Amino acid sequence: MRLFLNLLRRDVLLAFRQGSASGMTVAFFVITVTLFPLAVGPDAVILARIGPGVIWVAALLSALLSLDRLFQADFEDGALDLLVLSPLLLEAVVIAKAAAHWLTAGLPLLLIAPVLALFMNLDLEAFGILLLSLALGTPALSLIGAVGAALTVALKRGGALLSLLILPLYVPTLIFGVSAIEAAITSSDPVPSLLLLMAVSLVTLAISPIAAAAALRLALE
Amino acid sequence: MRNPLFFLTGIGYGPAMTTGTMRLEAMKLDCQRGGREVFSGLNFTLEPGEALIVTGPNGSGKSSLLRLIAGLLTPVAGSLHWQGQAAKSVEGWPGHYLHYAGHLMALKPALTVLENVRFWAEFYGRGAKAKGACITLGLENLLDFPVRYLSEGQKRRTALARLAAVPLPLWLLDEPTSGLDRETTERLETLMDRHLKEGGMVIAATHLPINIPGSRALALGEQS
């Protein structure tokens, strides 16, 4: 646990020292969402209708933005060798790095989302559910992303392939995330969708560290 | 049997690493990279206090051998034993037993020298002496300097400071002296010498002459 927290702290520290990473993710998120009112027109009803979907799709894409470097930097400078050899289980290394990714790329999205919801004229009553759905769903984005990042770690330009691998796997998160907000807007019960969203995140927490660790071991051979 | 100098030097191995029974044994190791045979039928044994200097031309498998011992590569055939037990089944292998210093230095340019050393030191051992290790390697004036601005040799020293910070019995060093000036090479030799005297083991792959009294040489031949 001590090693786990050390690694987590280092990754968050690195993200801050190198600046940009979190800032870029948030800026990308904001710009993507603001493009929609410009493209669709300022019709408040249409915006409110597409709002939840737009915010969630933009969140998926923003999370993807910084994923390709998740393991690659460590792979290139040899740190991954030392992490594999260290007393910390490689699966725990994956979780620590995914958690750092969530803290630097998922959490900021959560903080800025209410502002964007205002842009999209989202029902005020749905704000709580929007935040809850993002809070429950974005960890899955980081965890599934870790598998893709591990599979493409040895590729020089793995970013595009990473998107192809990962985006289809984001579909369940997207569906349940959006349907929870829709339910809140139409005043039906959002709880089943939120529970399913949480289930998706928990399943990925169980499976993706194992898959990502296996992919990393393969990449180092 | 514990290292008798333990109390004087403050460096010693944990209870699992008593020097008396330590022994690394390679039996008929075969290594292939990309379908090409790099070396085959490699045997050696290493006892506490012994150093093995691996030499050979480029591509003869020096780095592969070190990665193989560390467990980053799997041998096609043959086995590696630690204290008479298959290395992979030893509890805590490899994290609690060996330092691997490859030619990639695992340093983060955005962190300072001390932060880099401390991170790895704490990762490999509890209560590690990161600062003292930096001073051993002559980095005392660079502690708060971001690694980004260091020269190659200074980076190499920062990477090697880990060895001094955390006492682990087996050191696997890949070209440890490349980029180091004469003085630092001597510091490193002193460090290795002390490690060996305390019952440690060193396997170093190198092109450059390195002065370790009583070391054995292992020449990997050309196979192409």
Among B104, B111, B119, the residue with its CB nearest the CB of A6 is B119
Average pLDDT over chain A, rounded to an integer: 91
Minimum CA–CA partner of A11 in chain B: B108
Among B94, B105, B122, the residue with its CB nearest the CB of A85 is B94
Q: Which of B63, B104, B150 to mutate to test the interface with A (most CBs of A within 10 A)?
A: B104
Tell me the sheet residues that pair with B216.
Answer: B52
Tell me the sheet residues that pair with B27.
Answer: B79
Model confidence over B138-194: pLDDT tens digits? 888 888 999 999 998 899 999 999 888 888 899 999 988 888 888 889 989 999 999
Q: With 80 as the cut, is the pLDDT of residue A83 above it? A: yes
Q: With 80 as the cut, is the pLDDT of residue A75 above it? A: yes
Q: With 80 as the cut, is the pLDDT of residue A196 above it? A: yes
Q: How far apart are the C-alpha atoms of B2 and A45, rounded to whole Å?
A: 78
pTM of this structure: 0.88
Angle at B55 between CA B51 and CA B61, to 5 degrees: 110
Alpha-carbon gap: B224 to the closest alpha carbon of chain A (Å): 21
Q: With 90 as the cut, is the pLDDT of residue A32 above it? A: yes
Alpha-carbon gap: B124 to the closest alpha carbon of chain A (Å): 6
Alpha-carbon gap: A42 to the closest alpha carbon of chain B (Å): 44
A:B CB pairs within 8 Å: 64
Alpha-carbon gap: B107 to the closest alpha carbon of chain A (Å): 7
Question: Which residue range forms the structural domain that includes residue A44?
Answer: 2-220
Q: Give the DSSP H or E segment for B202.
A: strand B201-205
Number of folded domains that form chain A: 1
Q: B104 and A13: CB-CB below 8 Å?
A: no
Q: A77 and B110: CB-CB below 8 Å?
A: no
Residue A11 is encoded by which pair of tokens? 């990754």
Q: A82 and B123: CB-CB below 8 Å?
A: yes
Q: With 50 as the cut, is the pLDDT of residue B89 above it? A: yes
What pLDDT is attached to residue A20? 66
Q: With 90 as the cut, is the pLDDT of residue A102 above it? A: yes
Q: How far apart are the C-alpha atoms of A192 and A197, rounded to whole Å?
A: 9
Alpha helices per DSSP H over A42-89: 44-65, 72-76, 79-85
Residue A167 C-beta-side C-alpha neighbours within 13 Å: 14
The backbone region for A22, taken as left when phi is positive above 0, alpha when psi lies in -120 to 50, beta otherwise, is alpha
Q: B105 and A78: CB-CB below 8 Å?
A: yes
Environment class of residue B163 by beta-carbon count within 10 Å: exposed (0-12), middle (13-18) or buried (19+)? Answer: buried
Residue B211 is encoded by which pair of tokens? 């002065």
pLDDT (mean) for A56-63: 94
Alpha-carbon gap: A185 to the closest alpha carbon of chain B (Å): 45
Q: With 70 as the cut, is the pLDDT of residue B107 above it? A: yes
Q: How far apart are the C-alpha atoms of A134 and A59, rounded to whole Å?
A: 9
pLDDT (mean) for A53-74: 91
Residues of B in contact with A220 (CB under 8 A): 72
Model confidence over A202-211: pLDDT tens digits? 999 999 999 9
What pLDDT is attached to residue B3? 41
Average pLDDT over chain B, rounded to an integer: 83
Count of Cβ atoms closer than 10 Å to residue A35 Cβ: 12
Q: A220 and B72: CB-CB below 8 Å?
A: yes
What pLDDT is attached to residue B15? 40
What pLDDT is attached to residue A129? 93
